[in-house]
Amino acid sequence: MKIRQALISLSNKNRAREFAQGLAAYGVRLLSTGGTAKMLRDAGLEVTEVGDYTGFPEMLDGRVKTLHPKVHGGILARRDLPEHLATIEEHGIPAIDLVCVNLYPFRETIAKPDVTLAEAIENIDIGGPAMVRSAAKNYAGVAVVTDPEDYPALLSEMASNGGGLSAATRFALAKKAFVHTARYDAAIANWLTSLDESEQAKPFPERLQLAFDRGETLRYGENPHQQAAFYRDPEPVAGSIANYRQLQGKELSYNNIADADAAWECVKTFDTPACVIVKHANPCGVAISADLLSAYEKAFQTDSTSAFGGIIAFNGTVDADVIVAMNSRKHFVEVLLAPGFTAAARELLSGKQNLRVLELPLAKVYHDFEMKRIGGGLLLQTPDRFNVQASDLRVVSALVPSASQIENLLFAYRVAKFVKSNAIVFCGHGMTLGVGAGQMSRVDSTRIAVSKAQNACLELAGSVVASDAFFPFRDGIDVLAAAGAKAVIQPGGSMRDEEVIAAANEHGLTMVFTGARHFRH
């Protein structure tokens, strides 16, 4: 289908001049509106303004520009129906073969901290979505272009096809256009339904519209009999797992991505060199140190059995020494992820063809919402952004923790935030010593953490312990004290806090409260 007439009306004018020049080179007649027409005319192009084309000027402060039969008739007329073609010819309506439109910047407008409802309303596009939808509906005869990134490829195809675009290209453009308008309307609906009576935006819209792009279809889900796919945010936040670049290895599985996300979210919270090893969504080894090599060695030492087949995340550039250490331990790893890898490290890794190696930017940025699908609905919450600082701690025991104990307590509590509840984490010297996760009772998690440390031949005497939530009874304190721990960090808030504090004093433990719980389900 050869392009003979195009309508160009843009909010985002990036690359528009070059695209219009390319169209004009094929003899395409150009229609345009307002500022877009001026820009094209200033570039030396011959342009007909829509107001002159329809015989009606833009009116109502620009609210009405293209809502006219001569525009929509030219777009919507089916080229395969003689009666449609006869009708537009009777009324003097030339066919419009290409519509290049993008929409008022509504999302950019509402992102302003001081935006008013009136300002947002004026940035709701009406004519633009109508033209885009009309052209997308009639893709059999019209090409609709909404993304400036597509301009070069379309001009290239026109060069190969004598100024025309294929049916396959028009269909692909139509699908993209419907997504464009759907997400535009979703942004409007989400924002408007989040406003309260005083026109102030609240975190949770009354009617939530979601948008994700399918990244890839996965081999299967959590189990081979389940189907699965990975969907990304259209604009993933910086530092999220969706920004990964796979350097080598097999395709990622559903479980690989889920566990890699857990490891990455944990490791990126540390400011010093850190290593996190995750197995089945739980950290089984976490450590910080002066360099990534020693951090890895300490993390691996926590639970070398569980580390087999795990996911390893680093928060710095991985060098050859780290890979040599992994190889020397014959450490089988499913996924290795870091902000970067040296050339020497890449060379060593290339010998492990199945090992999935991911590179992604490091940034402590979070999504607006965390989501969990349940039967018939969706749970939304804001992310757990709270990272306890020394100034947040309240000493509740008779003994006051030392500076080194506080440092290890803060480290332990940060790790506990990423362990499935009920979470108990023993730590010392900047590394995990024993991790108890996901048990129905806190005392069982404590016993498991002790058992893990003993199996790894790690000394718990003098260690510190973090609990993601309060101790409901003193039994957990009795177990960790018997194992040799000397300091405990927990949120507090139990009706038996006094009983638990008394147990800590009885065992000669220091105990601090944070006031912030870190359940993770």
Domains and CATH numbers, the chain: 5-192 (3.40.50.1380), 245-380 (3.40.140.20), 390-513 (3.40.140.20)
* pLDDT for 490: 97
- Closest-CA residue to 201 (of 111, 126, 104): 111
Rounded to the nearest angstrom, the gap between the alpha carbon of residue 521 and the centroid of all alpha carbons in its chain is 19
The CA dihedral of 454, 457, 461, 464, to the nearest 10 degrees, is -70
**What pLDDT shows up at residue 284?**
95
Q: Say what the pLDDT of residue 113 is.
A: 85
Q: Give the helix/strand (H/E) hosting 132.
A: helix 127-137
156 phi and psi angles, rounded to 5 deg: -65, -40
Give me the pLDDT at residue 62, please: 67
95's tokens: 């066919």
Residues of the chain with pLDDT under 70: 59, 61-62
429 is catalytic: no
CA distance 119 to 379: 31
**DSSP state, residue 268:** T
Radius of gyration of the chain (CA): 30
Give the C-alpha separation, 311 to 99, whole Å. Answer: 48
* Secondary structure (3-state) at 95: coil
Q: Which of 280, 331, 352, 429 is catalytic?
A: 280
> 493: closest CA among 516, 511, 474?
516
Q: What's the pLDDT at 200?
A: 80
Q: Of the residues 137, 250, 352, 429, which is catalytic?
A: 137
pTM: 0.86
Q: What tens digit of pLDDT does each residue of 315-328 get? A: 999 999 999 999 99
Token pair recorded at residue 338: 């870091």
Alpha-carbon distance 519 to 521, whole Å?
7
pLDDT at 449: 96
Is 186 in contact with 209 (CB distance < 8 Å)?
Answer: yes
Buried b (16+ CB within 10 A) or exposed e, 140-164: ebbbbbbebebbeebbeebeeeebb
Taking alpha carbons only, the member of 59, 93, 89 closest to residue 75 is 93
Reply yes or no on whether 137 is catalytic. Answer: yes
Strands ordered across the beta sheet of 47-49: 47-49, 29-32, 5-9, 98-101, 143-145
How many angstroms separate the CA atoms of 518 and 521, rounded?
A: 10
Q: With helix as H, strand as E and coil as C, how does 429-479 read?
A: CCEEEEEECCCCCHHHHHHHHHHHHHHCCCCCCCCEEEECCCCCCCHHHHH
E strand spans, 290-423: 310-314, 317-318, 333-338, 340-341, 356-359, 370-374, 377-381, 394-395
**CA distance readout (Å), 341 to 2, 282, 318, 320:** 49, 25, 5, 8
Q: What is the DSSP letter of 363?
A: -
Residue 138 φ then ψ, to 5°:
-100, 40
**CA 453/CA 430 separation, integer angstroms:** 15
**Whether the Cβ atoms of residue 295 and residue 273 lie closer than 8 Å to each other:** yes
What pLDDT, in 10s, does the model give residues 321-348?
A: 999 999 999 999 999 999 999 999 999 9
Say how far apart CA 135 and CA 436 lie, in whole Å: 58
